[in-house]
Amino acid sequence: KQGYQRRVRGTIRGMIPHKTQRGMEALNRLKVFEGIPPPYDKQKRMVVPSALRVLRLKPGRKYASVGRISREVGWKYGDVVEKLETKRKEKSAAYFQAKKKLSALRAKAAASA
């Protein structure tokens, strides 16, 4: 059985000319992770509007997610990644609330000063 990231990497490898020098360099630059690893979990996440499924696919068009397909063929860490993702979202929500509270206090202090 392959891991989730190896399956994604293999899929992308099939899409690029991996036997050429340019393709090998592109494949070496590719980073694939399960979830969000520590150096990237502190960075601000951004949405790429041109890549949104709602904008890219026609209404009624069928689609499949890599996670669902991987679970169907035997990937057994979907539950672990889901649990870690919910934990990350809870921490992120708590951080955002604290940040919002702090910015409100700063705005109040700036207004009174």
Where residue 82 falls among pLDDT bands split at 50, 70, 90? confident
- Taking only the tens place, the pLDDT of each residue in 43-67 is 888 999 998 999 999 999 999 988 8
Residue 100 in this model has a pLDDT that exceeds 80 = yes
Which of 77, 110, 61 minimizes the C-alpha distance to 2? Answer: 77
100 Cβ contact list (under 8 Å, min separation 6): none
Q: How confident is the model at residue 1 (pLDDT cuts 50, 70, 90)?
A: very low
Looking at residue 87, what is its pLDDT?
93
- Written as six digits, the tokens of 9 are 């990497």
| Mean predicted confidence (pLDDT) in 10-28 | 95
What whole-number distance in Å separates Cα of residue 61 and Cα of residue 41?
Answer: 32
What is the per-residue pLDDT for 98?
96
CA nearest to 67, candidates 32, 43, 15, 30 = 32
